[in-house]
Amino acid sequence: MKNVLVYCRQGFEKDCAAELSEVASSKGFYGYAKVVPDAGYVVYNFDQPDAGETLIQQLNFNRLIFARQIIAVNDVIELEQGGRVESLLEAARELPLAEEIWIETADTNEAKSLSGLIKKLEKPLREGWKKSGVLRNKAVGVRHHVFMLDGEAAYLGVSYAACRSEFPMGIRRLRFPAAGPSRSTLKLEEAFLQFVPEQTLESDLTEGMTAVDLGAAPGGWTYQFVKKGIHVIAIDNGPMQKELMSTGLVQHEKADGFKYEPPYTVDWLVCDMVERPIKVAELMAHWLASGWTRRAIFNLKLPMKKRYQEVSLCLQTIEAMLRKAGVGYQYQIKHLYHDREEVTVCIMVR
Q: Which pairs from 227-235 meet CB under 8 Å and 24+ separation?
A: 227/177, 230/205, 230/206, 230/267, 230/268, 233/262, 233/266, 235/260
Return the pLDDT at 211: 98
Return the pLDDT at 202: 86
The full set of domain ranges for the chain reads: 3-170, 184-349
Tell me which CATH code domain 184-349 carries: 3.40.50.150
**40 SS3 class:** coil
The answer to whether 218 is a known ligand-binding residue is yes
The answer to whether 290 is a known ligand-binding residue is no
Whole-angstrom Cα distance, residue 329 to residue 311?
A: 18
| Class for the domain spanning 3-170 | alpha beta
Residues facing 343 on adjacent strands: 300
What is the side-by-side strand order in the sheet with 329-334?
250-253, 231-235, 210-214, 268-271, 295-301, 342-349, 329-334
Return the pLDDT at 16: 97
Which residues form the catalytic set?
Answer: 301
Residue 49 has pLDDT above 90, yes or no: no
Whole-number Cα distances in Å, 247 to 14, 179, 225, 232: 45, 12, 12, 11
* Whether the bond into 239 is cis, omega within 30 of 0: no
Whole-number Cα distances in Å, 108 to 56, 74, 115, 171, 282: 24, 23, 12, 13, 35
Return the pLDDT at 93: 94
Q: Residue 81: pLDDT band by 50, 70, 90 thresholds?
A: confident
Return the pLDDT at 267: 98
The answer to whether 219 is a known ligand-binding residue is yes
The 8-class DSSP code of residue 80 comes to -
**pLDDT of 89-147, one tens digit each?**
999 999 999 999 999 999 999 999 999 999 999 999 999 999 999 999 888 999 999 99
Average pLDDT over residues 38-43: 98
Which residues in 223-294 belong to E strands, given as ranges?
231-235, 250-253, 268-271
Return the pLDDT at 201: 86
Return the pLDDT at 82: 87
Return the pLDDT at 2: 93
**pLDDT of 135-176, one tens digit each?**
998 889 999 999 999 999 999 999 999 999 999 999 999 999
314 contacts: CB under 8 Å, gap ≥ 6: 277, 278, 280, 281, 300, 345
The answer to whether 184 is a known ligand-binding residue is yes
Residue 350 has pLDDT above 90, yes or no: no
The answer to whether 236 is a known ligand-binding residue is yes
Residue 12 identity: F
Residue 302 has pLDDT above 90, yes or no: yes
**pLDDT of 203-214, one tens digit each?**
999 999 999 999
Residue 331 has pLDDT above 90, yes or no: yes
Q: What percent of the chain has pLDDT over 90?
A: 95
Residue 271 has pLDDT above 90, yes or no: yes
Q: Residue 47: pLDDT band by 50, 70, 90 thresholds?
A: confident
Average pLDDT in the chain: 96
Of residues 151, 27, 32, the one with CA closest to residue 88: 151
Q: Is the pTM of this model over 0.85?
A: yes
Residues facing 35 on adjacent strands: 42
192 contacts: CB under 8 Å, gap ≥ 6: 205, 224, 297
The answer to whether 159 is a known ligand-binding residue is no
HSE (CB half, 13 Å, CA atoms) of 101?
A: 28
